[in-house]
DNA sequence: AAGTCGGGGAG
DNA sequence: CTCCCAGACTT
């Protein structure tokens, strides 16, 4: 297979057909802004472009440079990440900004080793910044690139297994060695996977490398790559104590590990396999329980969270705080808990 | 090698 | 409903 031809065709296609995305518009002095590129790469980890578009602008406006982000509070950072999910990314980005200030005098490093040493920066993100911003000859492999390469070679591989990962990195490095501009090739492969070589219904007629695609040749483009074994989800019940005083609701910070780590939420009792009793819920804040708004189910990748809501009278604040809806939304708060706060304060 | 971590859009 | 997304990190 001709790596040079495939790489060049991908680069040419990308330069012609790339989407207009905000983090691609930060070019000054012939180079994309390293900091905003870093922010976009963190946000894009396991997250579709359409989701990131809603959060990227406000985040950059609030934290326009490394030092501003490094100097901000964690609550402020998490608040601007709220609704985007995978909140550990926000904490790691915050830590990375502080590390850049301390280790690199506030300048985003350009070599993969230094990038890789930053919190939250793995092999993909380091390669992305090094190649797309600093124009170094480094490869990247994400879910898009894996799918494109598996199809191109019609390899019988499943996504999400180490063998596929090792194989894809090797192939990607071969392409990078043969390409013109590594950053353009890399972003082209990713863009190809996102817009043309999609998981379902790939648009092979629009593909710049279909002439070399073994999957298309063999009619396997819909079959490859084989799907990843499905994550088994566990059920968990949250009995939530809704304590209201005037137009404010009682919130506490969640534990530093686990689901929604470090975010704010109403006091709650969590149980595996069965719902907590009203008595257990009221005991959390030491008040008396009455029925609350109707509960609901919130699903994540690995859990099905069933919320039971109780109003509790006379609850104590303790190591907690009272927040209006506006104030609550200015904290890091999950989608599910934002919904609970709204239910608590309406009517 | 497997598990964990969100949330939403597409099919 | 199921699947997947510009992954990283822990165990």
A112-129 core/surface letters (b: 16 or more CB in 10 A; e: else): bebbbebebbebbbbbbb
Please check whether strand C approaches the CB of A11 to within 7 Å.
Answer: no
The pLDDT score that the predictor gives to residue A194 is: 96
pTM of the full structure? 0.96
The chain-wide mean pLDDT, for chain A, equals 95
* Annotated catalytic residue, options A11, A41, A187, A191: A41
The pLDDT score that the predictor gives to residue A232 is: 82
**Residue A235 designated active-site:** no
Please check whether strand C approaches the CB of A233 to within 7 Å.
Answer: no
Taking the CA of residue A117 and the C1' sugar atom of nucleotide C6, their distance in angstroms comes to 19
The predicted model gives A189-199 an average pLDDT of: 96
Model confidence at A229: pLDDT above 80: no
The pLDDT score that the predictor gives to residue A347 is: 66
The tokens for A8 are 């060049």
Residue A286 pLDDT grade (very low, low, confident, very high; cuts 50, 70, 90) = confident
Please check whether strand C approaches the CB of A45 to within 7 Å.
Answer: yes
Taking the CA of residue A259 and the C1' sugar atom of nucleotide B8, their distance in angstroms comes to 18
The predicted model gives A188-202 an average pLDDT of: 96
The pLDDT score that the predictor gives to residue A29 is: 87
Residue A88 pLDDT grade (very low, low, confident, very high; cuts 50, 70, 90) = very high
The pLDDT score that the predictor gives to residue A1 is: 61
The pLDDT score that the predictor gives to residue A8 is: 98
The pLDDT tens digits for A287-328 are: 888 898 999 999 999 999 999 999 998 777 777 999 999 999
The pLDDT score that the predictor gives to residue A52 is: 97
Cβ atoms A294, A347 nearer than 8 A: no
Taking C1' of C3 and every protein CA, the nearest residue is: A227
The predicted model gives A340-347 an average pLDDT of: 91
Taking C1' of B2 and every protein CA, the nearest residue is: A161
Taking the CA of residue A120 and the C1' sugar atom of nucleotide C9, their distance in angstroms comes to 8
Residue with tokens 């043969």: A178
The tokens for A186 are 């890399």
Q: Which residues touch strand B (CB under 7 A)?
A: A 46-48, 50-51, 83-88, 161-163, 198, 200-201, 231, 234, 258-261, 298, 300-303, 334-336
The pLDDT score that the predictor gives to residue A63 is: 98
Taking the CA of residue A339 and the C1' sugar atom of nucleotide B7, their distance in angstroms comes to 14
> What are the angstrom distances between the C-alpha of A325 and each of A244, A298, A329, A340?
11, 20, 6, 10
Percent of chain A with pLDDT over 90: 88
């Amino acid at each position: 297979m001709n790596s040079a031809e495939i790489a060049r065709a991908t680069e040419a296609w990308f330069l012609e057909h790339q989407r207009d995305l905000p983090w691609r518009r930060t070019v000054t002095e012939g180079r994309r802004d390293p900091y905003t590129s870093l922010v976009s790469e963190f946000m894009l980890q396991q997250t579709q472009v359409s989701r990131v578009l809603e959060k990227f602008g406000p985040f950059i406006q609030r934290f326009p440079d490394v030092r501003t982000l490094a100097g901000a509070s964690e609550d402020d950072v998490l608040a601007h990440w709220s609704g985007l999910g995978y909140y550990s990314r926000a904490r790691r980005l915050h830590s990375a900004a502080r590390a850049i200030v301390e280790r690199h005098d506030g300048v985003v490093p350009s070599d993969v080793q230094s990038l890789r040493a930053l919190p939250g920066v793995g092999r993909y993100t380091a390669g992305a910044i090094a190649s797309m911003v600093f124009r170094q000859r480094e490869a990247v492999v994400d879910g898009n690139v894996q799918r494109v390469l598996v199809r191109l070679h019609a390899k019988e591989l499943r996504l999400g297994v180490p063998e596929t990962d090792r194989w894809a990195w090797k192939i990607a490095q071969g392409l990078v060695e043969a390409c013109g501009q590594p950053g353009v090739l890399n972003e082209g492969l990713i863009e190809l996977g996102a817009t043309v070589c999609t998981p379902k219904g790939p648009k092979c007629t629009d593909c710049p490398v279909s002439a070399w695609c073994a999957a298309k040749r063999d009619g396997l483009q819909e079959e490859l790559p084989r799907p990843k074994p499905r994550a088994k989800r566990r059920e968990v019940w949250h009995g939530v104590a809704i304590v209201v005083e005037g137009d404010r609701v009682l919130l506490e910070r969640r534990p530093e590990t686990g689901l929604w780590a470090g975010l704010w939420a109403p006091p709650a009792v969590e149980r595996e396999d069965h719902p907590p009793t009203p008595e257990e819920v009221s005991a959390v804040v030491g008040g008396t329980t009455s029925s609350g708004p109707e509960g609901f189910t919130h699903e994540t990748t690995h859990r099905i969270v069933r919320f039971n809501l109780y109003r509790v009278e006379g609850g104590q604040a303790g190591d907690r705080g009272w927040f209006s809806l506006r104030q609550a939304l200015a904290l890091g708060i999950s989608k599910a808990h934002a919904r609970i706060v709204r239910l608590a304060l309406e009517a």
